[in-house]
Amino acid sequence: MKRILVICSTLVLFSLGAKSQISYGVKVGFNASNVSNSDGKTLSGGHVGGLVNYALSKNFALQGEVLYSTQGCRYKAGEFGPFSLSLNSTLSYINIPILAQYYFTPGFYVEAGPQIGFLTSAKLDNYDPADNDGHAYKDYFKSTDFSGGIGLGYIFKKINLGIDARYTFGLSNIAKESDDKLHNKVFQLGVFYKFGKKK
């Protein structure tokens, strides 16, 4: 039975690859993020990683990405005369979005799809675990985050270089033990390059 499943899966992947144009690429970009219900302000960060694009037809494609993303929010800690002090709550994730893309023209497209994120680190400026029963800041957050994403982009076919803008909104509560419902919110601007033959 296992052999039959392996053979069937191989045939499906082979047929998909035969009918689809597969391209690979790298991307880097800017994040403007916040966390809902946290009283936080927008925090600047970034993302970097790779992508695989499956061109299913002239107008439709599927794109998977693996991105290292720094996000979170910024808290106002106090005011000293004309100055204010802020603390950065930085949450770093390995995000894996799977996006369906529709191309209105050979270069311009819109996209939407789900995303899963794996928390790699969590840091709060000046946080001392010894002041809070020895718990690391990361202990207060769940290890996975489920989100949805929508965006648009444009690729310059002749040079395989593109730009995109995307908004991801958290669907799951990232707080491990809290009555608050905390959700990631991230706006991204990116630049990507696809390897392969230029058209």
Task: Find the CATH number of the domain harbouring 76.
Answer: 2.40.160.20
> Does 16 fall in a domain?
no
Task: Give the pLDDT confidence of 24-69 residue by residue, as tens digits.
Answer: 999 999 999 999 988 889 999 999 999 999 999 999 999 999 999 9
Residue 6 included in any domain: no
Residue 13, in any domain of the structure: no
Q: What residues are paired with 151 via a beta bridge?
A: 111, 166
123 located within any domain = yes
3 vs 135: which has the higher pLDDT: 135
Question: What's the Cα-to-Cα distance from 184 to each of 151, 173, 199, rounded to whole Å?
Answer: 16, 8, 38
How many domains, the chain? 1
> Cα(115)–Cα(187) distance, rounded to whole angstroms?
14
CA dihedral 119, 170, 97, 122 (to 10 degrees): -20
Q: Measured between alpha carbons, how far is residue 63 from residues 38, 39, 83 in Å? A: 32, 34, 45
User: Which pTM was predicted?
Assistant: 0.83
Give mean pLDDT, residues 8-29: 64
